Amino acid sequence: MDRHLISRIAHTDHPIAAPLFDDSVQRLLDRALTGDAERLLDLGCGEGPWLLRALAARPKLHAVGVDLDTRGLTIAQQAAAALGVSQRLGLHHQDAREFSHPEPFDAVLCVGATHAFGGLLPTLTAIDRHLAPGGLALVGEAFWAQDPDEAALAGLGGMAATDYDDLATTVDRVVAAGWTPVYGYVSSRPELDDYEFSWTGSLAAWALDHPEDPDSAEAAAVAAEHRTGWLRGYRGTFGFVTLVLRRAE
């Protein structure tokens, strides 16, 4: 089963593809898009939930999203039309690592897509290339809320303990790379649990609703395996932080 399709079905009831409630997303956008911000870029925008929320609330804002998932971008485009913000949204079907644009952005975000750049620090290097002087980065990244044991690493699909750090070390590395956290939000346990139950539940429900679909059995199996990997593995170990960062000029 195509992983983009799995992800799209799994996010049906949780459009933000990260463990954040809507009010957390709004608060983070308010911190990243300060008064006169006019240009926003999202690297790995998916279906564009961050861009759409930002555009709907800020009539002067123009936004650009980049993603490799064609259908995700189509959904973003349709949602933008429904909201009446299409004129202010540019979508690019492209590898975010190769994206270039003639004008810099007041804010650049990358949430849940740092793997595309090879981790948090390479993501910040990529973001920096697109930021206007004084611009803000908004980046969402996993961290270890406690030392990962074997069950946690297996539940995350065979990750290594070195793939993430604890929260303090994560922030230290960002600071050492020349960034100053001007805000940050650590996803709460209810946000993490809601995200996982929503992800696994939407996929499992789709399998029940489509028993004749050739992908039905696989969708049910992926949902069950993911749920077990979470509940018996990484629940309590996997954390998620979204940082708003400024570069020293």
Which residues are near ligand SAM by CB under 6 A?
16-18, 44-46, 49-50, 66-69, 72, 95-97, 111-113, 116
Nearest to 122 by CA among 181, 174, 199: 174
Pairing of β 89-93 and β 179-186: unpaired
Q: Which residues pair with 184 in a beta bridge?
A: 243
At closest approach, how far in Å is the CB of 63 from ligand SAM?
A: 13
- Residue 71 · residue 12 · CB < 8 Å: no
C-beta closer to ligand SAM: residue 17 or 63: 17
How many Cα atoms sit within 13 Å of 24 on the Cβ side? 20
- With H, G, I as helix, E, B as strand and everything else as coil, classify residue 143: strand
Closest approach of Cβ 49 to ligand SAM, in Å?
5
Min dist CB 102 to ligand SAM, Å, is 19
| Alpha-carbon distances of 190 from 99, 109, 166, rounded to whole Å | 35, 24, 20
| 48, 97, 114 from 165: Cα distances, Å | 28, 23, 14
In the bound state, the residue with its beta carbon closest to ligand SAM is: 46
Closest to ligand SAM by CB, 46 vs 233, is 46
* CB-nearer residue toward ligand SAM: 159 or 216: 159
Structure tokens at 129: 């290339």
Identity of the residue, 69 or 141, whose beta carbon is nearer to ligand SAM in the bound complex? 69
Q: How far is the CB of 146 from ligand SAM (least distance, A)?
A: 23
Nearer to ligand SAM (CB atom), residue 98 or residue 212: 98
CB 177 to ligand SAM: min, Å: 21
CB of 53 to ligand SAM, least distance (A): 10
Do 126 and 109 touch, CB atoms closer than 8 A? no
Task: Please list, residue by residue across 78-113, b when 16 or more beta carbons sit within 10 angstroms of its beta carbon and e when fewer do.
Answer: ebbeeeebbebbebbeeebeebeeeeebbbbbbbbb
Q: With respect to ligand SAM, which residue has the nearer C-beta, 18 or 153?
A: 18
